[in-house]
Structure 1
Amino acid sequence: MRRWLSTATVAGLIAAGVALAPPAAAIAGPGQGKPGNDTLQRYAADTWASLDAMTDEATGLPSDNITGDLATAGAYTSPTNIGGYLWSTVTARDLGIISKGEARDRMATTLDTLEDLERNDASGMYYNWYDPATGAKLTTWPDSGDPVYPFLSTVDNGWLAASLRIVREAEPSLAAQADTLYDSMEFSAFFNPEGAPGLPAGTNRGGFWEAPPPDCSVEAPMYNGSGETAFYTCHHYDTTVSESRIATYLGIANGEIPATALYGTHRTMPPGCDWAWQEQLPTGTYRTYQGFEVWEGVYTYAGMSFVPSWGGSMFEALMPDLLVPETTWGPRSWRLNHPITVAVQKHHGLEDAGYGAWGFSPASNPFGGYAEYGVDLAGMRSDGYTSDVEKTDVDIDRPGCTEGTNPDPEFGDGVVTPHASFLALPYDRRGVLENLAHLEEDLGAYGPGGFFDSVAVGSGTVAERYLSLDQSMIMAAIGNELTGDTLKRYFVDKEMEKRLRPAMKAQVFSSEENTRE
């Protein structure tokens, strides 16, 4: 029987200054000795405590969430949650929070369970919801009893597959098992070679069902040529700045979809009044890549031009950057866009909205449930993610097309989520540490499992719970910062670099970081 140290034991040993394994940062971390490293290490240890508490010891599956006292975990999990737990286990090991042996045992337990989970036979993909205690596919929602229509999600399977790449490199004794699971997942099953409407290259669908769902779907032969029928989502993942690009990267790396898929998504929607429903009218230029004409459009905010996401949130823009060396491989695209995205979020929170804090991304609603937060003007969606509880919608002029109805609003009770700040670590370390200190010390958004999921900064209302996805992003961000991007080195291999890097290098965004007013 595998035995793990309890959360209380781990926390006690760390508090007493006992290292459970040599921290990788102390061995080879380029940031060793930098101010703030001890604080980041503390954040990581506490964050790991929440992930430990929400993980079933028998199955190695993490729950989707847990209460702020680490006492009550949810009764469902997803492929993204499982993937995030696996790379968080690697990170906890590399930071010396848990021993090498414990990390190996934890990952082995999870891989054993993954081998037995029910999957779609024609693609090898995992369903979106399982019971973390038994591994059973959910057909009934545990909280409400409502039916669950089993769905195969493109992006969720992307994050799980990404974690298997990490495990095979980080723990050689599990490489064969992780490889077998990874190789069985066919990302070509999601890729529509005809592309989305108005786009020149192929594009991923959002996923598929095996049987018709009650809402919109498109019946088609499965794209991987299996001969099976799938009921695909009516929408494609057709925006460039999206967390879903992890699945595109993996499909290209595996040779399952062409590298030209990078040209099959919108930077912004096209210019002109026919597209004036989008949040801003973009500027930019058309560029041609391998015969595909792409509108390289940008939005502007506070004098900065950038490629927006759909909702204007941090995780859409920066979550894939945790694993993929985007700024290195995309010197004229992501290297420009990522720091501007961070600057836009910071400017919105500190200057325009006057919240005194920043970092906006989908997270727990401090007043109950879950909500999507972002910088409205930094997202293409016209009724997009807003940054406050009041859902203050900013509506500016689209010159020559429409007149804005609310160009300069008063913002209300802003909602900040800590994981958004952690994602910004590579681009504004000092600003991130200052922001997090404010959330912890002044707003009380910190508990036994690290930062609570969100805080409404005006009222001081805290969402006292932890989400597995958000905690795993925090672990990855801290691990990369303290170990010199170890997760990226685990994730990338020569084949991926050969197939993906040239296409990323060719991209030229119209982002401009030197145009601030």
Structure 2
Amino acid sequence: MRRLLVPVLALALLLPGTVPATAAPPGDDSPAVGGDADRRALRGYAVDTWRSMAAMVDPGTGLPADNIGGDLAAETRSTYTSPTNIGGYLWSTVVARDLRLISTREATKRAAATLATLARLRMHADSGMYYNWYDPRSGDVLTVWPEDGNPVTPFLSSVDNGWLAAGLLVARSALPELRREVDAVLAPMDFGFFYNPDAKGAGLPGLIRGGFWDTAPPGCSVLGNYRDRGPDVWYTCNHYDITVTEPRIASYLGIAFGQIPPEHYFATWRTLPDSCDWSWAEQKPVGFHTSHLGVPVFEGAYRYQGIQFVPSWGGDMFEALMPDLFVPEDRWGLRSWGRNHPATVAGQIAHGMTDARYGYWGFSPASDPFGGYREWGVDAMGMDTLGYASDVERANYDAGFGECRPAGPQPSYGDGVVTPHAVFLALRYAPREAVRNLARLRADFDVYGSGGFYDAVAVGSGTVARRYLALDQGMIMGALGNDLAGDDVRKAFVTPQFERAIRPLLAMETFNVPARQELPIGREPATAPTTTREGR
């Protein structure tokens, strides 16, 4: 196997001391959210959301559960957690400190307990990566799923380890007294272990695998070792090959740490090609061909509700906007992400208010109000033909693919499911609309508890998923920290070395998204919502 030239120990050289993040004056570098009443409302949401995050944490290990019941009772904590949940708790702790919900002393104590447990958790020594599921009460790697008793083959996820590393970077900068403890966990993490340099062949830069197992799993896998360090592992058969999706956080980190070549950033699809060979995709893209760093790039885009944008895979909010909580994509990529993020938010608003006419908006994977977990999104805004539905009935949008595939019938939407964390992710790009949407959700449904907004609400039937997820609450805390505390999450995450590695990549590209397109933000639905809101 090919070995990358930059050793993992270079990470230690790329993490110099940085200025500790402190609470900034309200409004300093923050998106505007309106008047004092809006800011008071958002701060109240932060107080309650932090209460749910704190309630998820096991006092013995400092690890958060994946989820907790709506009453925040300790016995309703799940008995599993992930690297993403742990990272989310770390950055949420920093936000709570910066918003003065807790003291610096308490924030340091909490983070120190989590880091001490991370230091003793079983992990994959050759890559420095953590397994995907642990028992938060003991820190043991799960081999049996606690909810149904099915066997679990321990797995190491590239994207989940990316979110853990993001939380570690935030804690490292914001809590400098814990820098040594953070480095002990962060420095060994090698994202190059996931990077397949031959994924696309033809001399093109490679892609990141979804992850790997260090013991033989059932189903599809590929035996190998991209670092030639330690024994071979069993890689997933899939690569992450879409640009607008949350695994790009792992790409950013690998590039910044010198573990993945920068050309990799341009190896992922903006859209799939516009030829009939790809006509299974959601719609035929419009675009042009160019190249960056010698890598050919098709700058494709989709159109929906009069908006042109680069789509995600499923058309959901967190694929598009979760990395933007940490990386100032809109500022560094003025002609790319700076155009696409507002267009994505506008499309979500247009879907909820004008197309589906739910009267509310914000769609992203979250709890199913009728039980379990489900991928919610705006089908028309994703590349997947079947896509992520915004409603329980799974209304299917099919724009066709030009002359290659005729368009399907117009969908009839049913019981739409709104996910509050998706609305908070939109705060930077539609602050007035987001605050108003949240207020209406809270007024119209039993969707708010002592830990903040419950995870999801079906706005037609009024059915609510009355629980809190660490991932979704963590996104809410990150968005509120950036909004109310002067971009505190972004400032703590970005080191000078990270900026030098990533900013030029984002700056050199122009997405096929018009610079001054009219975005239908703030428009009311054409007619009143057709759904009924029973059981409020």
Instruction: Tell me the TM-score range normalised by the shorter chain.
Output: over 0.9
* 8 Å CA contact 1:54, 1:66 repeated in 2: yes
Q: Secondary structure at the match of 1:425?
A: coil
Paired residue for 1:351? 354
> Which one of the candidate residues 357, 361, 365 is aligned to 1:362?
365
Paired residue for 1:418? 420
CA-CA distance at 1:290 after TM superposition: 1.5
* 8 Å CA contact 1:25, 1:95 repeated in 2: no
Paired residue for 1:231? 234
Question: How large is the Cα RMSD of the aligned pairs?
Answer: 1.6
Paired residue for 2:298? 295
Superposition pairs for residues 322-333 of structure 1, below 5 Å?
322-333=325-336
Superposition pairs for residues 80-479 of structure 1, below 5 Å?
80-196=84-200, 200-220=204-224, 222-406=225-409, 408-479=410-481
- CA offset digits 1:103-126 (Å, max 9, x no partner): 100000000000000001110100
2:29 and 2:289 mapped to 1: Cα distance?
A: 42
Q: Cα–Cα, structure 1 residues 318 and 199, in superposed 2: closer, same or farther, change >3 Å?
A: farther
Q: Secondary structure at the match of 1:400?
A: helix
* 8 Å CA contact 1:318, 1:338 repeated in 2: yes
Q: Name the aligned partner's letter for residue 443 of structure 1.
A: F
CA-CA distance at 1:497 after TM superposition: 1.1
2:27 and 2:295 mapped to 1: Cα distance?
A: 46
Q: Name the aligned partner's letter for residue 195 of structure 1.
A: A
Q: Secondary structure at the match of 2:129?
A: coil
Q: Cα–Cα, structure 1 residues 515 and 97, in superposed 2: closer, same or farther, change >3 Å?
A: closer
* 8 Å CA contact 1:195, 1:264 repeated in 2: no
Moved more, 507-516 or 389-398: 507-516
CA-CA distance at 1:329 after TM superposition: 1.1
Q: Secondary structure at the match of 2:240?
A: coil
CA-CA distance at 1:376 after TM superposition: 0.3
* 8 Å CA contact 1:328, 1:335 repeated in 2: yes
| Count of matched residue positions in the alignment of Structure 1 and Structure 2 | 494
Q: Name the aligned partner's letter for residue 361 of structure 2.
A: W
- CA offset digits 1:205-251 (Å, max 9, x no partner): 1000112211111111x212314201111110000000000000000
Q: Name the aligned partner's letter for residue 415 of structure 1.
A: V
Moved more, 485-494 or 448-457: 485-494
2:189 and 2:45 mapped to 1: Cα distance?
A: 34
Q: Secondary structure at the match of 2:130?
A: coil
2:270 and 2:203 mapped to 1: Cα distance?
A: 11
- CA offset digits 1:341-385 (Å, max 9, x no partner): 000000000000000000000000000000000000100011110
Q: Cα–Cα, structure 1 residues 26 and 397, in superposed 2: closer, same or farther, change >3 Å?
A: closer
* 8 Å CA contact 2:282, 2:400 repeated in 1: no
2:66 and 2:201 mapped to 1: Cα distance?
A: 34
- Structure 1 gaps of 5+ residues are 1-21
1:27 and 1:356 mapped to 2: Cα distance?
A: 30
- CA offset digits 1:38-76 (Å, max 9, x no partner): 111100010011111110011110000001111111000
2:27 and 2:253 mapped to 1: Cα distance?
A: 31
- CA offset digits 1:402-451 (Å, max 9, x no partner): 11232x11100000000000000000000000100011111121011000
Between the aligned residues of both structures, percent identity stands at 54
2:147 and 2:321 mapped to 1: Cα distance?
A: 31
1:509 matched to 2:499: no
Paired residue for 1:480? 482
* 8 Å CA contact 1:196, 1:236 repeated in 2: no
Q: Secondary structure at the match of 2:124?
A: coil
CA-CA distance at 1:276 after TM superposition: 0.5
* 8 Å CA contact 1:422, 1:474 repeated in 2: yes
Q: Secondary structure at the match of 1:36?
A: helix
* 8 Å CA contact 1:24, 1:96 repeated in 2: no
1:283 and 1:382 mapped to 2: Cα distance?
A: 17
Q: Cα–Cα, structure 1 residues 199 and 57, in superposed 2: closer, same or farther, change >3 Å?
A: farther
1:173 and 1:379 mapped to 2: Cα distance?
A: 43
1:498 and 1:302 mapped to 2: Cα distance?
A: 37
- Which of 1 and 2 has higher RCO (CA within 8 Å, sep 6+)? 2
Q: Cα–Cα, structure 1 residues 515 and 148, in superposed 2: closer, same or farther, change >3 Å?
A: same
Q: Name the aligned partner's letter for residue 243 of structure 1.
A: E
* 8 Å CA contact 1:196, 1:238 repeated in 2: no
2:376 and 2:36 mapped to 1: Cα distance?
A: 32
Q: Cα–Cα, structure 1 residues 170 and 458, in superposed 2: closer, same or farther, change >3 Å?
A: same
* 8 Å CA contact 2:23, 2:486 repeated in 1: no
Q: Secondary structure at the match of 1:300?
A: strand
1:49 and 1:127 mapped to 2: Cα distance?
A: 27
1:227 and 1:124 mapped to 2: Cα distance?
A: 12
Q: Name the aligned partner's letter for residue 171 of structure 2.
A: V
Q: Cα–Cα, structure 1 residues 25 and 366, in superposed 2: closer, same or farther, change >3 Å?
A: farther
Q: Secondary structure at the match of 2:362?
A: coil
- CA offset digits 1:90-144 (Å, max 9, x no partner): 0001001111111100000000000000001110100000000000000000111
Q: Name the aligned partner's letter for residue 425 of structure 1.
A: L
1:197 and 1:153 mapped to 2: Cα distance?
A: 23
Q: Cα–Cα, structure 1 residues 353 and 269, in superposed 2: closer, same or farther, change >3 Å?
A: same
